[in-house]
């Protein structure tokens, strides 16, 4: 069951982000799914009656105790089936990442955008690319996200300077000031920051006496939650009843109509990443060998094939194009009970990247469309249960704003 949830920010937010060399921590403009899962776990543990009365051991691991106290707990169904809940990133309401194929007017970002995907697929030498509204130069979008009007979405930020704590004395450490750049909870004088997400929750968890029930009210996301940051309130939730099958068919048909130089026996699908994806490319992080573009493309194809096989799509396909960006990330394993050690680096394919596939047209029938719906629901790559690899198939943005559109 897909449940759309709307949050209202009650305090500044610091979620994820890298610590810069100058002791400056800048928040991401969204809340990653794994941070959301950690917040839910912390909330359930803070309200666990069994831990209070039976087991006082401090833990950050959610485990169903199956005690007498559990029968009275509000969160019993969530605790028992927590691994079955699929979470996604929490983004500002109405926002989505810009496609890597999109361009904007250099001088007025409120002008209509331009999308280059169909120009690339049709291999056309179009006229000089200019803004459709003012005929000026184009450039890449200045922000990561766009709003419902397809214009750049920027966020008001709040800079907070904090002092480091000396571990020995427990007092303020000399010369250890650092700044955190948070997303402000008030984005305008009248309006707090509103955010939304979609959780895939089994009916036995989401339904209480046949009515939808989310037992959470106030949650705290990200870092420094004990100091008051990241406080959010659920203000609304409802089931997403969109007719996904007919909607997907319409998008696929519209997308393929724009492709003029296509094989008659092929049908083309674009996969637009709505969140960063781990496509299992880590073996290519090496200085011992140079890998060609074709080898990277084959690795991406193999990763997508694994995701397709999980939902029983075993038809052969071609990887036509990949337009996107990568980022190498690593960190420190700071879990309790483990020696602090550096985690191996991971290649992440960034949100907004576009992958184009081609299938034989004769294989595309009703059952295949149902499988594509499952693919769009599940995502691609690793860690999809925490919102990684979220995709839209044949995003209508490519059709609406393609070069040479009707």
Per-residue pLDDT reduced to its tens digit, 304-324: 888 888 777 777 889 999 999
Inter-residue contact 341 to 249 (CB < 8 Å): no
Inter-residue contact 2 to 198 (CB < 8 Å): yes
Q: What is the second-level CATH architecture of the domain 2-94+153-239?
A: 2-Layer Sandwich (3.30)
Q: Can you give the pLDDT at residue 98? A: 96
Low-confidence residues of the chain: pLDDT under 70: 21-22, 55-56, 58, 124-127, 209, 335-340, 404-406
117, 119, 123, 126 alpha-carbon torsion, rounded to 10°: -160
Q: Can you give the pLDDT at residue 89? A: 96
Q: Can you give the pLDDT at residue 264? A: 80
Q: What are 47-63's pLDDT values in tens digits?
A: 888 887 776 676 788 88
The count of C-alpha atoms lying within 13 angstroms of the C-alpha of 296, restricted to the half-sphere facing its C-beta, is 16
> Positive or negative, the Cα torsion across 111, 112, 118, 119?
negative
- Which residue, 124, 77, 128, is CA-closest to 103? 128
Every domain range in the chain assigned CATH 3.30.70? 2-94+153-239
Pairing of strands 24-26, 172-183: parallel
What tokens does 63 get?
A: 């485990």
DSSP 8-state code for residue 387: T
What does the alpha-carbon distance between residue 308 and residue 310 come to, in Å, rounded to a whole number?
Answer: 5
Q: Can you give the pLDDT at residue 356? A: 95
What tokens does 119 get?
A: 């120009």
Q: Can you give the pLDDT at residue 406? A: 46
What does the alpha-carbon distance between residue 72 and residue 307 come to, in Å, rounded to a whole number?
Answer: 40
């Amino acid at each position: 069951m897909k449940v759309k949830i709307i949050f209202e920010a009650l305090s500044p937010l610091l979620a994820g982000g890298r610590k810069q060399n100058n002791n400056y921590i800048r928040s991401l403009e969204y809340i990653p799914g794994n941070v959301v899962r950690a917040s839910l776990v912390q909330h359930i543990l803070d309200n666990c009656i069994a831990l209070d009365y039976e087991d006082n051991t401090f833990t950050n691991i959610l485990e169903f105790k199956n005690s007498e106290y559990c029968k009275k707990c509000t969160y019993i169904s969530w605790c028992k089936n927590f691994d079955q809940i699929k979470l996604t990133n929490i983004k500002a309401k109405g926002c989505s990442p810009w496609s890597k194929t999109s361009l904007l007017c250099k001088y007025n970002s409120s002008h209509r955008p331009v999308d280059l995907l169909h120009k690339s697929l049709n291999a056309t030498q179009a006229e000089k690319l200019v803004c459709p509204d003012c005929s000026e130069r184009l450039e890449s979008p200045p922000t990561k996200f766009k709003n419902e009007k397809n214009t750049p979405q920027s966020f008001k930020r709040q800079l907070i300077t904090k002092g480091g704590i000396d571990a020995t004395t427990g007092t303020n450490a000399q010369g250890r000031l650092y700044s955190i750049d948070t997303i402000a909870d008030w984005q305008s004088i009248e309006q707090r920051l509103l955010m939304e997400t979609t959780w895939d929750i089994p009916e036995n968890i989401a339904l209480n006496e046949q009515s939808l029930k989310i037992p959470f009210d106030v949650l705290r996301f990200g870092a420094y939650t004990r100091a008051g940051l990241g406080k959010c309130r659920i203000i609304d939730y409802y089931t997403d009843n969109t007719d996904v099958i007919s909607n997907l068919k319409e998008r696929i048909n519209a997308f393929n109509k724009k492709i003029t130089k296509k094989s008659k026996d092929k049908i083309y699908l674009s996969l637009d990443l709505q969140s960063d994806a781990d496509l299992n490319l880590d073996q290519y992080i090496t200085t011992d060998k140079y890998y060609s573009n074709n080898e990277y493309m084959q690795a991406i194809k193999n990763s997508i094939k694994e995701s397709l096989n999980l939902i029983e799509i075993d038809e052969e396909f071609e990887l036509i194009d990949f337009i996107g960006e990568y980022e190498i990330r690593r960190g420190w394993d700071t879990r309790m009970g483990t020696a602090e050690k550096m985690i191996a680096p991971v290649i992440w394919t960034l949100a907004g990247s576009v992958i184009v596939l081609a299938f034989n047209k004769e294989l595309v029938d009703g059952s295949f469309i149902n499988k594509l719906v499952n693919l769009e629901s599940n995502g691609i790559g690793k860690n999809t249960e925490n919102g990684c690899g979220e995709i839209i198939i044949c995003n209508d943005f490519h059709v609406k704003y393609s070069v040479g559109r009707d």
